[in-house]
A and B are shown apart, each in its own frame.
Chain A
Amino acid sequence: MTLFFIGLAAILAGGVVAAVTRMRSTRAEAAFGGLVVAGSILALVPALRVLGGAASPVTTVPSRVPGGPWEFGIDALAAFFLLVVLGVGSVIAIYGIGYLRAERSHRSIAGACLGFSALLVSLALVVTARAAIPFLIAWESMSVLGYLVILFEHERADVRRAGLVYLVATHVGTLALFLLFAAWARVATDLRFDTLAASAANLPRQGQVILLLALVGFGVKAGLVPLHFWLPGAHSAAPSHVSAIMSGVVIKMGIYGLLRVGALLAPTPAWWGWTLLSLGLIGGVLGVLWALAQHDLKRLLAYHSVENIGIILLGMGLGFLGITYRQPAVAAIGFAGAVLHTLNHALFKSLLFFGAGSVLRATGTREIDKLGGLARAMPVTWILFLIGAAAIVGLPPLNGFVSEWLVFQALFRSGLGADPMRLAVIGASGLALIGTLALACFAKVAGIIFLGRPRSAAGAQGEAPPLLLAPMAALAAACAMIGLFAGQIVKPALRAGALLARTEPLRGASSDVALAARSVGLLAIALTVIAAVGYGLLARLRARRPIRREETWGCGYAKPDPVMQYTASSFAAPLLAAYAPVVGLRVQESATSFHSHPTEVVLERTIQPLGYRVRSLAARLRPIQQGRLHIYLFYMIAVLLGLILYLVAA
């Protein structure tokens, strides 16, 4: 545990160094990067030990604040999330150095670096806090620091607006968490998590109020539909490395919270599992449909976070249902899928946001329909982005497939039982739908941005610098490794799942899954090797044949123009038309023009109209505010009289 705190101190020191030196030299950058990476590795040592099977360390800090002593500890759940936070977070920090370098000439980036390392530290504290008060403090500082790093380009009005929406939304969530712990405190002697878990039996109505508050409080952070409305704006307004940590890591704190509270209260009532499962399905489908409608690359990626949170929730829902209905194997596999997908999403979503950042740096635009043909100017970025795209779609031989396969396993297995949980099997079709829609979406993103010819003057200035490529390569390698060594990765994931499901690890059905995962890994390796050999053989075959280079076949049209290429909007149009009622695409067309604008269905079509309605109703109360003192004195006397009459009547 000491090592953990030393590591966190080193990360924070990196931020302070950045702030003091203002990141003006390469040495300052190296000091920042080195301290953050070294600190992360140090802090991860105890976490890895716990994952390896060691006892979980606990540190207690005595406190005078009500709520008992402050405990910090690393159990298996915390250790796993630390791996996500610090493992992926430190790679993001390196990319951030390279990404912010271009900004150094015209603004101070010291604050951004300090804010980033402080954010990493508070994230690490959120997952290790084992008492309500330090948890809430870490949670709030994470939220506020998130706001500060999002506001990097604060001179832009849309950034300020997105930041404000984020700030309000996150505080609604925090409010729910305060209520949650306040409600729990009424039955517990202090606010340590252990005490809370022990007193869970005393909660009125089996803690259903607590679960509802957790759903709101953590749901806002996780981007649970319909509480996701702040997410696309905030994640796309932030600089790309911040988008990566927000989408890849910060929203996972919502998942962590749901898992933690669920574990403290387990066994949970059936509706909790069913709610998570259905919210996961709804969020998954809607998230990917909304993503498909976007024209802005980063907004599109942000909506895919909503989709992937949906897949994680699906796994979690099955996990909790498995506990409720006493199907330990389904529970373990479901949780294993959720946990592994959490890690996988952190890896490929950060990778994709890095790619988006490099594209933005090279071309100056995020409009998908203005781009094209970037594969030629940015060959390495293209390959790495393609790996991320195939991974997020869930295609073998990459990591996204492994975790989605686990969730599918749990879904199909739930159908083999005899209880009401069988109904969950229908979710498999929902997950398949999410998968194909994601395929359509990333075929559009990868194909339109990187392939074909440039659609506008916004051509790339050349390949991204090595400092941006190296972090991308690291994440892409991790994606490939998890996919190719599925058998080895699924085992610890199943162990974690069994722990969350409170059952013995690797028994019966779940060891059957571990065995099947080995076959998945072998197939992935076979696929890669055979495809590589086949490509080589075909290249040799072609070398002996005459090869000509011509224009693309234009069906007889002699002078093709890049403007004639298919656009992302047209590519997505038939799918969006099929799902038009829920997509929220606003279309203006005339004989000669066509414009489509994606709208945020929850924010722009529900919350804002509701806000205007409340405001106009409130305006009717204006007459009682006359601004004259004697009127207010009259109100006070009237109320006083009313109270006296009430007393008399009573």
Chain B
Amino acid sequence: MLSAIAGLLLVMLVAPLLPGVAGRTKAILTGRRGPPLLQLYYDLARLFRKGVVYSTTTTWMFRLAPVVLAVSALLAACLIPLDGHAAIVGFAGDVIVFTYLLALGRFVLVLASLDTGSSFEGMGASREVTFASFTEVAFFFALIALSLATDSLSFAGMLGAPLVTAWPSAAPSIVMAAATLFVVLLAETSRVPFDDPATHLELTMIHEVMVLDHGGPDLALILYASALKLTLFASIVISVVVPRGMLNPFLALAVLAAGLLAVGIAIGIVESVMARLRLTRVPQVLVAAGALAAFGVILLLR
């Protein structure tokens, strides 16, 4: 339990670091100086001290959404066995609760963006729900593959000790699931090639354009929740690739920290070597990712 709480504190603390690592890698690889590693921490601290500008069109929905988004991400974090053994809350079917908590966050954020009445934000919201419908199916195929490989219904089994014993016999399927999960990570957390967090044209944005009107502490909560979500998906990918169910919980946490760093670098490399996709291409790539995990499922159902 102690290690589970330590794990939660770890991801909560390092979450804003991950986008920094990705950005730093990208800067080095493209020969620029780039922002400092801790940029998001500075941004969050500054935003929390700032005032807010509210659009006259918005209602309480606009002010509620950042809170619900952050709380749902936080509760989702409690469901992942970050120390490789057990989560703070774990039960049969917790994977579904995890997905639907994130869906709740998406729902309120989309409503908040429609609350502004801005056509740009409406466009972003529309893209968000469209692409989410593809990512979630891919994510579920990966979950099914893990569930079949480990004979379990909860994260504790899918990412814990049963995964260690499943690796030798079900390696192809697990690799496929891991690859799909990494694509889902990029898509769900709006990274290149699906979305570009550094873009400056509203018409091409997805996630960024939904929060155009947010500012101050509200925006800080949204940025923090996105970083936390990125860290959670990264933790899942790490747990699948490097199963830590047999390690000492605290050693497993150290591996997790190193893994998070590696995922950050991997994201940075992807962002340096790829351009973002045309919006019409995004669903195709996501369907392909889902199909990959589905192949993994079929291998296990044989």
Contact = CB atoms under 8 A, between A and B. Distances in A.
Verify that A and B bind, or say they do not: yes
A428 B117 CA distance: 35
16 contacts: A412-B153, A415-B147, A422-B301, A436-B103, A436-B133, A440-B133, A443-B110, A447-B110, A516-B92, A527-B71, A546-B51, A547-B53, A549-B54, A550-B56, A555-B212, A571-B126
A553 B63 contact: no
Contact of B96 (A408, A426, A541): A408
A274 interface: no
Contacts of B101: 396, 527
A451 interface: yes
A416 B151 contact: yes
A622 interface: no
A339 to B, nearest CB: 18
B55 A401 contact: no
Given A516-B91, A531-B67, A578-B283, 19 more contacts: A390-B104, A395-B100, A405-B93, A415-B147, A429-B294, A436-B129, A439-B106, A439-B132, A447-B111, A447-B114, A447-B122, A451-B115, A452-B114, A542-B63, A546-B52, A547-B53, A550-B53, A551-B55, A562-B117
Nearest to B287: A578
A527 B235 CA distance: 22
Interface stretch (A130-138, A229-237, A294-302, A518-526): A518-526
Contact of A443 (B129, B140, B294): B129
Interface string B263-298: 000000000000000010001000000100010010
B280 to A, nearest CB: 9
B165 interface: no
Interface residues of A, number: 79
B30 interface: no
Interface of B: 48, 50-59, 61, 63-64, 66-68, 70-72, 74-75, 89, 91-94, 96-97, 99-101, 103-104, 106-107, 110-111, 114-123, 125-127, 129-130, 132-133, 136-137, 139-141, 143-144, 147-148, 151, 153, 202, 212-213, 216-218, 221, 279, 283, 290, 294, 297, 301
Contacts of A428: 140, 143-144
Interface string A515-540: 11001101100110011001100110
Given A425-B148, A426-B297, A553 B55 contact: yes
B51 A452 contact: no
Contacts of A534: 67, 70-71
A440 B130 contact: yes
A405 B96 contact: yes
B117 A452 contact: yes
Contact of A571 (B125, B137, B217, B294): B125
A552 B55 contact: yes
A538 B67 contact: yes
Contacts of B74: 530
A436 B297 CA distance: 21
A575 interface: yes
Contacts of B59: 375-376, 451
Contact of B140 (A429, A530, A535): A429
A280 interface: no
Contacts of B140: 428-429, 432
B147 A409 contact: no
Contact of B129 (A401, A440, A542): A440
A393 interface: yes
A552 B213 contact: yes
B56 A551 contact: yes
Contact of A435 (B103, B110, B116): B103
B260 to A, nearest CB: 25
Contacts of A447: 110-111, 114-115, 122, 125
Closest 3 CB pairs of A and B: A566-B122, A447-B114, A452-B117
Nearest to B117: A452
A278 B283 CA distance: 24
A62 to B, nearest CB: 51
Q: Max chain B CB contacts within 10 Å: which of A531, A548, A570?
A: A531
A422 B92 CA distance: 18
A545 interface: yes
Given A435-B136, A440-B133, A516 B93 contact: yes
Contact of A542 (B52, B57, B58): B52
Contact of A548 (B53, B70, B136, B137): B53
A416 B136 CA distance: 22
A128 B136 CA distance: 42
Contact of B111 (A415, A423, A446, A549): A446
A432 B99 contact: yes
A433 interface: yes
A531 to B, nearest CB: 5
B122 A513 contact: no
B91 A519 contact: yes
B130 A574 contact: yes
Given A415-B147, A545-B217, A554 B118 contact: yes
Contacts of B91: 515-516, 519-520
Interface string A551-594: 11111000010101110001111110010000000000000000
Contact of B117 (A390, A545, A552, A575): A552
Interface string A440-468: 10110011100111000000000000000
A545 B148 contact: no
A429 B141 contact: yes
Most buried by A among B55, B103, B115, B297: B103
Contact of B93 (A408, A433, A439, A541): A408
A41 B51 CA distance: 54
B139 to A, nearest CB: 8
Contacts of A564: 119
A565 B121 CA distance: 9
Nearest to A449: B114
Contacts of B92: 409, 512-513, 516
A337 to B, nearest CB: 11
A585 to B, nearest CB: 15
A401 B137 contact: no
Contacts of A522: 89
A553 B215 CA distance: 12
Contacts of B51: 545-548
Nearest to A541: B217
Given A436-B103, A439-B129, A447-B111, A520 B97 contact: yes
Interface in A77-94: none
Contact of A452 (B57, B144, B151): B57
